[in-house]
Amino acid sequence: MTTPSAATPSTPASAALSPGHGEAPSGTPGRRASLGPVGLVLAGGVSVQFGGALAVSLMPRAGALGVVTLRLLVSAIVLMVICRPRLRGHSRADWTTVVVFGVAMGAMNALFYQAVARIPLGPAVTLEVLGPLALSVLASRRVINVLWAALALAGVFLLGGGGFSSLDPVGVAFALGAGAMWAAYIIFSARTGRRFPQADGLALAMVVAAVLCLPLGIAESGPKLTEPTTIALGAAVALLSSVLPYTLELLALRHLPASTFAILMSLEPALAATAGFLVLSQTLQPTEALAIALVIVASMGAVRTQMGGRGKTRAQASVPGSTPTA
């Protein structure tokens, strides 16, 4: 669960996806320099998942919706102070886009936290990542993506032990719902990024998400949200899960190809499983570890196929008389 780096595209899409952007032959200074952005992305992923693990440990004190509320509220305040977005001069379509983006963000977080309150962190993130994976497969519409989809489904089948008897079915449903909202979040993150400068759209969408979740958090947790310890832990969750990874990813995307970034994001189920083990003592059975590995491979394969297809299409389009292929 990361903040929407797509909402603040610091590198033009055409440059980020073009062959050779941010890459250099092995052993050159450019190659070594590219390791820095990769490290930033991985550090952001670690921050997100350990923030998620901290959120799970906070849930007995504040409840799942209470933790979501604290996370979104603190993140909204921090981003509004840092970004200071301009409120005037936007069209109705601009505001509609940012509101829908905020609704998707709030729903994604609320559903995901309901999931991790019922099932381990690693399986929850694995199920959630099926949303972006499905979006990638559908957007590409290439035959090879049927293989990646089948591989992911095999991983989900293993994760559920053939019927999800080992996992809370309600938690599974929440995780899948969060995945669907993650797909919507990706779509509207990109649209928001095209309509608002820098991170303005993200800050405004975060406010929308916080306002939507606030009544739910108050209804579930009430006075518990005002306890100093709960506020401090909630602020730590917000910093680890939103503010810090967003900043790291923003810096990384200035020098990192979008395809590489997307592949690195596919590692989140493994990072989540590691955080769950280290912080929450959540162990994985061998079949669950294999299931997570299958979903990660499927996600990476789908991303590489989609990016490769785009590169091929652009190359063919630049040759007179050629016909781009899907």
The tens digit of pLDDT for each residue in 97-150 reads 999 999 999 999 999 999 989 988 878 887 888 887 777 777 666 777 677 777
CA distance 71 to 128: 19
Tokens for 227, please give them: 């306890």
Give the per-residue pLDDT at 183: 87
- Tens digit of each residue's pLDDT (9 = 90 or more) over 49-96: 888 888 888 898 889 999 999 999 999 999 899 889 988 889 999 999
Tokens 């003592």 sit at which residue?
Answer: 281
**With 90 as the cut, is the pLDDT of residue 18 above it?**
no
DSSP string, 70-137: HHHHHHHHHHHHHH----SS--HHHHHHHHHHHHHHHHHHHHHHHHHTTS-HHHHHHHHTHHHHHHHH
DSSP string, 196-241: SSTTHHHHHHHHHHHHHHHHHHHHHHGGGGGSHHHHHHHHHHHIII
**With 90 as the cut, is the pLDDT of residue 259 above it?**
no
Length of the chain as a residue count: 326
| 8 Å CB contact between 170 and 118 | yes
Task: Name the DSSP class of 242.
Answer: I
Give the per-residue pLDDT at 31: 46
Give the per-residue pLDDT at 274: 78
Task: Provide the CA 127 distance to its chain's centre, in angstroms.
Answer: 13
- Tens digit of each residue's pLDDT (9 = 90 or more) over 279-307: 777 776 787 778 778 777 877 776 676 66
- Tens digit of each residue's pLDDT (9 = 90 or more) over 195-240: 888 788 889 999 999 999 999 999 988 888 889 999 999 999 999 9
